[in-house]
Amino acid sequence: MMELLDLMMARHSSRGPFDPDRPIDADALHQILRAATWAPTAHNMQNFEFVVVRDKAVLAQLSELESATSPVFIQENFAQLSFSEAELAAKKTGLLADRFPPEWTSEAAQQGRLVSEMRPLGSQVREGPVLMVLVYDPARRAPASENDFLGAISLGCVIENMWLMATSLGIGFHIISPLANEPLVEDVKRVLAIPAELAVALSIRLGYPIDDAPGPRVRRDLTDFVSRDRYSRS
């Protein structure tokens, strides 16, 4: 078992393909879901459920659903990009531009004018051994939490627990958000028989990566975000 901090540092998004012929065994999947059980949630509400999809026919059906990336996402993503490893190292935040389609680094993308085409979700959904869809009840709000801010934090804690457990087991973990976006989410709910009153937060691909090199990773130094006794950021 990894030391906890080492485990946190090893955790990363497995964006590449997963081995379609290597299933996740029931015990490993159980451990990942048990990790979700013990995540801290506001008022211990535990306002989350998972639809665990392993059926190849259902995964294929979901993979055929089409989605487009919004101009707003592309523009705001552009603002987080670095165009060299040196620039990324200096910023200490964000991602390398080469992770994204070339058109996402264009002037049109920077100005919010790039409209992506509708495309099937495709192999990312179809070829992984497991897809988990996280749902919650938006009618249940953490007490006195505006816009259920604490509820959203709780879902983040659930995901982090699961991600660390998956990492400790050598299982790749990748959050994919389009399944929660309008209007695609209505098709997802139909395919998975999710009740209308529940909301889809996000989905997670799980599997054994074929090539899992995460690329350069950066983090801020403690001195960049820690103040002592009084706030001292300029």
**Which CATH number does the domain housing residue 206 bear?**
3.40.109.10
Predicted local confidence at residue 2, as pLDDT? 62
Predicted local confidence at residue 98, as pLDDT? 93
Whether 131 and 105 map to the same domain: the answer is no
- For the segment 184-214, what is each residue's pLDDT rounded down to a tens digit? 999 999 999 999 999 999 999 999 999 888 8
230 assigned to some structural domain: no
234 assigned to some structural domain: no
* Residue 123 vs residue 158, higher pLDDT: 158
Whether 56 and 73 map to the same domain: the answer is no
**Percent of the chain whose pLDDT exceeds 70:** 99
Predicted local confidence at residue 46, as pLDDT? 98
149 assigned to some structural domain: yes
Whether 40 and 109 map to the same domain: the answer is no
- For the segment 65-75, what is each residue's pLDDT rounded down to a tens digit? 999 999 999 99
201 assigned to some structural domain: yes
Predicted local confidence at residue 234, as pLDDT? 67
Whether 12 and 127 map to the same domain: the answer is yes
Whether 33 and 128 map to the same domain: the answer is yes
Predicted local confidence at residue 1, as pLDDT? 52
Domain edge (last residue) among 116, 134, 149: 116
Predicted local confidence at residue 215, as pLDDT? 83
Predicted local confidence at residue 233, as pLDDT? 80
Residue 153 has pLDDT above 60, yes or no: yes
Whether 26 and 80 map to the same domain: the answer is no
Mean of all residue pLDDT scores within the chain: 94
Whether 8 and 60 map to the same domain: the answer is yes
Whether 100 and 207 map to the same domain: the answer is no
> Confidence class of residue 166 from pLDDT cuts 50, 70 and 90?
very high
- For the segment 38-58, what is each residue's pLDDT rounded down to a tens digit? 999 999 999 999 999 999 999
Beta bridge partners of 131: 53, 205
Q: How far apart are CA 195 and CA 122, in angstroms?
A: 25
For residues 133 and 50, the answer to whether their CB atoms sit within 8 Å is: yes
Lowest mean pLDDT, pick from 81-85, 118-122, 153-157, 209-213: 209-213
136 is in which domain, residue-wise?
Answer: 4-67+120-212
Whether 128 and 14 map to the same domain: the answer is yes
Whether 140 and 125 map to the same domain: the answer is yes
For residues 12 and 166, the answer to whether their CB atoms sit within 8 Å is: no
Whether 128 and 46 map to the same domain: the answer is yes
Average pLDDT value for residue range 127-145: 96
The first and second tokens of residue 125, run together, are 């959904």
Average pLDDT value for residue range 162-169: 97
126 assigned to some structural domain: yes
Whether 40 and 112 map to the same domain: the answer is no
Domain count, the chain: 2
